[in-house]
Amino acid sequence: MNEKATHISRRRFLKILAGTSAVAALGPVRHAAAQPKQYGKLVDTIRCIGCKRCMSACKRWNRLKVERDEMITDRFTELSGNNFVVVNLRTDSQNTETQIYHHWTCQHCDKPACVGACPVRAITKLPGGHVVINEKKCIGCRYCYQSCPWKVPQFDFKKRVTRKCTLCNDKFPTNYVKPACVAACPVEALIFDYKDVVLREAVRRIERRKMPSYIMGVKEAGGTGVITILPTRPQYLGFVVAPEKVVNQDLDKLRITGAGLMGASAIAGGAYTYAALTQDKNKKNDASNE
Q: Is there binding between residue 65 and other proteins (CB under 8 A)?
A: no
**Length of the chain measured in residues:** 290
Any bridge partners for residue 90, and if so which?
A: 100
DSSP single-letter state for residue 126:
-
- As a whole number of angstroms, the distance between CA 15 and CA 25 comes to 15
Q: Is there binding between residue 158 and other proteins (CB under 8 A)?
A: yes
Q: Helices in the chain by DSSP H: which ranges?
A: 3-6, 10-26, 53-62, 113-117, 143-147, 180-184, 195-209, 250-277, 280-289
- As a whole number of angstroms, the distance between CA 178 and CA 183 comes to 6
CB of 232 to other proteins, least distance (A): 15
> What distances in angstroms separate CA 158 from CA 69, 154, 279, one per listed residue?
21, 12, 58
Of the candidate residues 19, 212, 260, 269, the single one contacting other proteins (CB under 8 A):
260
Piece of the chain touching other proteins by CB under 8 A; list 25-33, 172-180, 210-218, 263-271 = 263-271
Would you give the binding string for other proteins spanning residues 195-234, x where CB under 8 A is met? Answer: ----------------------------------------
Piece of the chain touching other proteins by CB under 8 A; list 26-34, 56-64, 197-205, 238-246 = 238-246
- As a whole number of angstroms, the distance between CA 145 and CA 141 comes to 9
SS3 8: coil
Q: Please check whether residue 91 is in contact with residue 166, taking contact to mean a CB–CB distance below 8 angstroms.
A: no
Of the candidate residues 56, 62, 80, 232, the single one contacting other proteins (CB under 8 A):
80
Of the candidate residues 118, 167, 180, 216, the single one contacting other proteins (CB under 8 A):
118
Q: Residue 162 or 213: which CB sits closer to other proteins?
A: 162
- As a whole number of angstroms, the distance between CA 225 and CA 39 comes to 7
Q: Residue 34 or 251: which CB sits closer to other proteins?
A: 251
Of the candidate residues 92, 145, 169, 232, the single one contacting other proteins (CB under 8 A):
145
DSSP single-letter state for residue 231:
S
- Residues near other proteins (CB under 8 A): 76, 78, 80, 113, 116-122, 137-143, 145-149, 151, 154-155, 157-162, 238-240, 243, 247-248, 250, 252-253, 255-257, 259-261, 263-264, 267-268, 271-272, 274-275, 278-279, 281-282, 285, 289
